[in-house]
Structure 1
Amino acid sequence: MTNAKDKLRSVFLSALLVMSVVAGVTASAGSAAAVANLSDDTIVFQGETIVAQNSGNWNGDTVQLYTYEDNSVGTYVDQYEANGSGEISFSSDGLEGKYILQGPDQSGSSGTQFQVVPQTFSLKKTNVSTTTDTNHVNLTLDKTNRAGNFSVSINSTADGFTNQTATVNRDNQTNINVSIGSLADTAGTGNYTLTVDVTDTSASEDVNLELTEPGSVNAYFPQSVISDERGDVIDIPVEMENTDTANVTIGSSDVNFVADVHVQDGDDDGSNATIQLNTALNPSNDSFITLEGSSDSFVTTTTNDNDSNGVVYRAGENLSSPLASGNYELSVAIEDTNANGNWRAVNVATLSISQRSTDTAQSWIAPDSAITGDTTVSDLPGVVTDRDNVASGDYAVVQVKASGLYGDLNKSQLSSSVSSDGLKLSFVEQNPGPNSDPVSFSGNNDAVRLFEDAENNTFYTAVDTDAVDEVSENGLTTGEWNATFTVTPEFHSLVSENETVSTTFTVEDRSAEINGGNDVVVPVGSANITGTTNLAPGTEFTVQAKAGGSFLKSASVEVGSDGGFSAPLNFSDANNGTEFTVSLRNTGASVDYDTISGTVSADAEGDQPTTTTTSSNNTTTEETTTTTEETTEETTEETTTTTEETTTEETTTTSSDGGIPGFGVSVALVALVAAALLALRRSN
Structure 2
Amino acid sequence: MTNQKIRGLLLAALMVTSVFAGTIAFAGAASAANVPDDADVEYSDQNAFYQGQEVIFTGYNVDEQVDVFATDDGDRSVIATQVSADEEGDIVVDTGDLEAGEEYRLEAPSGNAADDIEFSVVQQNFDVNFDDSSVTNGADSTTDLEVTSNNRAGDFTVEVSADGLDEEELLEIFDASGFEATADDEDDEDDIITVTLNKNAENTVDFNDIDEGDYEFNFSVTDTTAEASDTITVEDSGSERASLEDGSLSVTTGDSVDAQVNLRNSDVAYLLVGGEDAGYEALARITEDGADEEDGVVNVTINTYNPNEANNYGLSVDSDDGELELVDDFEYQGVSAALDTGSYDLAVDTDAEEVVDTPDDVGTLSVNERSTGSAQSWTAPGNADALDEPEDLDDEDVLEAVEDGVITQDSDIASQDWAVVQFTETSGIYGYYAENGFDGEGLDFTLEEADPGQNQEPITIRGENNENAIYVVESDETNNLFVLINTGADGLEATQDGETLDEELNSEDLEGEWNATLTIGNEIVDPDDDDEEETVSTEFEVVERTAELDTNNDDQVEVFANENATITGETAIAPGSEITVTIQSESGADNPFVQRQDVNVSDDGTFEAEFNTADLEVGTNFTASLSATPQLESDSTDDYDAVIVEGQPSEETETTTDNGTADTTTATDETPGTDETTTASDGGSTDETDTTPDGTETTTESTSPGFGIAVALVALAGAALLAVRRDN
- TM interval, short-chain normalised: 0.5 to 0.7
Contact 1:277 1:289 in 2 (8 A): yes
Hey, what's the Cα distance between the residues in 2 that align with 1:609 and 1:318? 70
Deviations 1:400-443 (A, max 9, x none): 2321121231697435xx43xx1122222122222333222112
Confirm or deny that 1:453 pairs with 2:467: no
Please list, as runs of the form range in 1=range in 2, the aligned pairs for 1:154-165 lying within 5 A after superposition.
none
Q: CA deviation at 1:222?
A: 1.9
Hey, what's the Cα distance between the residues in 1 that align with 2:471 and 2:413? 17
- 1:490 alignment partner AA: E
Q: Given the superposition, is the C-alpha separation of residues 535 and 574 from structure 1 closer, same or farther in structure 2, using an over 3 Å criterion?
A: same
- 1:139 aligns to what? none
Q: CA deviation at 1:321?
A: 4.3
Contact 1:258 1:314 in 2 (8 A): no
Unaligned runs of 5+ in 1: 1-212, 300-308, 614-624, 639-648, 660-684
TM-score, length-normalised on structure 2? 0.50
Hey, what's the Cα distance between the residues in 2 that align with 1:654 and 1:246? 79
Confirm or deny that 1:562 pairs with 2:582: no
Contact 1:546 1:552 in 2 (8 A): yes
Confirm or deny that 1:227 pairs with 2:250: yes
Give the 3-state SS of the residue equivalent to 1:427 in structure 2. Answer: strand
Deviations 1:625-668 (A, max 9, x none): 9x9x9x9x999999xxxxxxxxxx98327699989xxxxxxxxx
Please list, as runs of the form range in 1=range in 2, the aligned pairs for 1:134-283 lying within 5 A after superposition.
215-266=238-289, 267-283=292-308
Hey, what's the Cα distance between the residues in 1 that align with 2:304 and 2:507? 42
Hey, what's the Cα distance between the residues in 2 that align with 1:635 and 1:424? 57
Q: Given the superposition, is the C-alpha separation of residues 271 and 657 from structure 1 closer, same or farther in structure 2, using an over 3 Å criterion?
A: same
Please list, as runs of the form range in 1=range in 2, the aligned pairs for 1:604-683 lying within 5 A after superposition.
604-605=648-649, 608=669, 610-611=671-672, 651-652=694-695
Give the 3-state SS of the residue equivalent to 1:481 in structure 2. Answer: strand
Deviations 1:307-346 (A, max 9, x none): xx3445733345444433221111111359xx85899522
Q: 1:364 aligns with which of 360, 378, 390?
A: 378
- 1:409 aligns to what? 433
Q: Given the superposition, is the C-alpha separation of residues 553 and 220 from structure 1 closer, same or farther in structure 2, using an over 3 Å criterion?
A: same
- 1:379 aligns to what? 397
Q: 1:526 aligns with which of 564, 567, 573?
A: 564
TM-score, length-normalised on structure 1? 0.53
Contact 1:542 1:587 in 2 (8 A): no
Q: CA deviation at 1:240?
A: 2.2
Contact 1:527 1:608 in 2 (8 A): no
Hey, what's the Cα distance between the residues in 1 that align with 2:420 and 2:690? 53
- 1:48 aligns to what? none
- 1:284 aligns to what? 309
Confirm or deny that 1:480 pairs with 2:513: yes
Contact 1:524 1:601 in 2 (8 A): no
Q: CA deviation at 1:466?
A: 3.7
Confirm or deny that 1:293 pairs with 2:318: yes
Deviations 1:356-381 (A, max 9, x none): 22121222222222333355133323
Q: CA deviation at 1:274?
A: 0.8
Deviations 1:35-59 (A, max 9, x none): xxxxxxxxxxxxxxxxxxxxxxxxx
- 2:632 aligns to what? 590
Contact 1:278 1:407 in 2 (8 A): yes
Hey, what's the Cα distance between the residues in 1 that align with 2:689 and 2:331? 92
Give the 3-state SS of the residue equivalent to 1:611 in structure 2. Answer: coil
Q: CA deviation at 1:601?
A: 5.7
Q: CA deviation at 1:235?
A: 0.7
Hey, what's the Cα distance between the residues in 2 that align with 1:240 and 1:449? 38
Hey, what's the Cα distance between the residues in 1 that align with 2:646 and 2:274? 83
Hey, what's the Cα distance between the residues in 1 that align with 2:621 and 2:333? 82
Hey, what's the Cα distance between the residues in 2 that align with 1:314 and 1:595? 78
Deviations 1:5-50 (A, max 9, x none): xxxxxxxxxxxxxxxxxxxxxxxxxxxxxxxxxxxxxxxxxxxxxx
- 1:527 alignment partner AA: A
Give the 3-state SS of the residue equivalent to 1:243 in structure 2. Answer: coil
Hey, what's the Cα distance between the residues in 2 that align with 1:488 and 1:635? 61
Deviations 1:76-115 (A, max 9, x none): xxxxxxxxxxxxxxxxxxxxxxxxxxxxxxxxxxxxxxxx
- 1:380 alignment partner AA: V
Hey, what's the Cα distance between the residues in 1 that align with 2:556 and 2:427? 51
Contact 1:543 1:582 in 2 (8 A): yes
- 2:349 aligns to what? 333
Q: CA deviation at 1:572?
A: 4.4
Please list, as runs of the form range in 1=range in 2, the aligned pairs for 1:12-161 lying within 5 A after superposition.
none
Give the 3-state SS of the residue equivalent to 2:455 in structure 1. Answer: coil
Q: CA deviation at 1:461?
A: 1.4
Q: 1:513 aligns with which of 523, 542, 548?
A: 548
- 1:349 alignment partner AA: G
Give the 3-state SS of the residue equivalent to 1:363 in structure 2. Answer: strand
- 1:580 aligns to what? 622
Contact 1:465 1:476 in 2 (8 A): no
RMSD between aligned residues: 3.9
- 1:441 aligns to what? 461
Hey, what's the Cα distance between the residues in 1 that align with 2:465 and 2:320? 36
Confirm or deny that 1:354 pairs with 2:368: yes
Question: Relative contact order (C-alpha < 8 Å, sep 6+): which is higher?
Answer: 2
Q: Given the superposition, is the C-alpha separation of residues 522 and 273 from structure 1 closer, same or farther in structure 2, using an over 3 Å criterion?
A: same
Q: CA deviation at 1:287?
A: 4.8
Hey, what's the Cα distance between the residues in 2 that align with 1:569 and 1:311? 74
Hey, what's the Cα distance between the residues in 2 that align with 1:407 and 1:600? 64
Hey, what's the Cα distance between the residues in 1 that align with 2:453 and 2:239? 76
- 2:535 aligns to what? 500
Hey, what's the Cα distance between the residues in 1 that align with 2:639 and 2:669? 18
- 1:464 aligns to what? 486
Give the 3-state SS of the residue equivalent to 2:649 in structure 1. Answer: coil
Unaligned runs of 5+ in 2: 1-235, 495-503, 651-667, 703-728
- 2:393 alignment partner AA: T
Q: CA deviation at 1:286?
A: 3.6
- 2:246 alignment partner AA: Q
Give the 3-state SS of the residue equivalent to 2:522 in structure 1. Answer: coil
Per mean C-alpha deviation after superposition, the further-off stretch among 375-384 and 346-355 is: 375-384
Give the 3-state SS of the residue equivalent to 2:382 in structure 1. Answer: coil
Q: Given the superposition, is the C-alpha separation of residues 634 and 342 from structure 1 closer, same or farther in structure 2, using an over 3 Å criterion?
A: closer
- 1:544 aligns to what? 582
Q: 1:426 aligns with which of 431, 446, 457?
A: 446
Contact 1:362 1:400 in 2 (8 A): yes
Contact 2:414 2:573 in 1 (8 A): yes
Q: Given the superposition, is the C-alpha separation of residues 452 and 519 from structure 1 closer, same or farther in structure 2, using an over 3 Å criterion?
A: same
- 2:455 alignment partner AA: N
Hey, what's the Cα distance between the residues in 1 that align with 2:338 and 2:331? 14
Contact 1:429 1:440 in 2 (8 A): yes
- 1:141 aligns to what? none
Contact 1:273 1:291 in 2 (8 A): no
Hey, what's the Cα distance between the residues in 1 that align with 2:313 and 2:319? 16
Q: CA deviation at 1:522?
A: 2.0
Hey, what's the Cα distance between the residues in 1 that align with 2:378 and 2:436? 22
Hey, what's the Cα distance between the residues in 1 that align with 2:268 and 2:641? 76
Q: How many pairs does the alignment contain?
A: 408
Hey, what's the Cα distance between the residues in 1 that align with 2:539 and 2:377? 7
- 2:717 aligns to what? none
